[in-house]
Amino acid sequence: MNWDMKKLLITGASGFLGWHIIEVGRKHYEVYGTYNSHTLEVNGASLLKANLSDFEELKQIFTNIKPDAVIHTAAISQPNYCQNHPEESHAINVTASANIAGLCAEYSIPCAFTSTDLVFDGTNAPYKETDTVNPVNLYGEQKVLAEQAMLKEYPETAICRMPLMFGAATPTAKSFMQGFIQTLQSGKELKLFTDEFRTPVSGVTAAKGLLLMIEKQYHGIIHLGGRERISRYDFGKLMIEAFQLPDTNLKACKQQEVQMSAPRPADVSFDSTIAFTLGYNPLSIKEELVGCVTP
């Protein structure tokens, strides 16, 4: 153990983003992480199983670790699941988030929270931090409630709204990209929306952005989107090119052609100028994809 290194606590360490934060963060911090259902071991990090909806357990984690900073990524983040399990998802997405902000306030430490581009309704992109939120599904609503509750508990919180994230699979999680690749490799048809737009970044870039916000002790809302607005379909084309996948089965479709439990906004691309001026520096999507050597 390096006594000179500050302690960073990452919730949701077994998630796609959590794992990437550990990978990037362990070079600079003594890293602690919580996970819920997916057991995880990572060299250079101390990980513990935790139920974040249990406040006493949460308090005990803070007492034992005494973190110098917290990045809170743990969430039930599948919009369709949230829509169908409102109470379970509220306990993690909203109540636990407010409790974490309260504990960070007690310890007076930097806290970064991962919110989402789905707080917007998709009718007025690109979105700045000051634009009015108007989520179209329950997951987006819960993230808005979490943002408000955390800033009320602890105005020093960095509310980091995250875009769609992609990258190589981690030991316990995948990005949406793996499903796309698997579908194409198995010779099945891959239908992607031409009318849904995001500003995606890789998990590595997102992790760097969150660590930068901790380092800068940023507080308030900030957007950590990529530099390019792109449809799912055009992302698919870039992915096929980067990984030299068969392209004959990539088909264009519209959102309205696919039935889903949770409604989806059409264009939640971000204006991330504030983050860029602070030193957040996403590569182009093409470069990011090429960097994901093992899809």
pLDDT digit string, tens, across residues 100-113? 999 999 999 999 99
pLDDT at 15 over 60: yes
**DSSP one-letter string for 164-194:** -EE-S--SS---HHHHHHHHHHTT--EEEES
In which element (H, E) is residue 33 found? strand 30-35
pLDDT at 295 over 60: no
Report pLDDT digits (tens) over 56-102.
999 999 999 999 999 999 999 999 999 999 999 999 999 999 999 99
Report pLDDT digits (tens) over 223-266.
999 999 999 999 999 999 999 998 889 999 998 888 777 788 99
Name the pTM for this structure.
0.94
Count of C-beta atoms within a 10 Å radius of residue 214: 24
Query: What is the mean predicted confidence (pLDDT) over 127-132?
Result: 98
CATH number of 1-295: 3.40.50.720
**For the chain, domain boundaries:** 1-295
H-helix segments, the chain: 16-25, 55-65, 79-84, 86-90, 97-107, 138-153, 176-185, 203-216, 232-243, 273-277, 285-291
Is the alpha carbon torsion for 7, 204, 228, 179 positive or negative? negative
CB–CB of 27/21 below 8 Å?
no
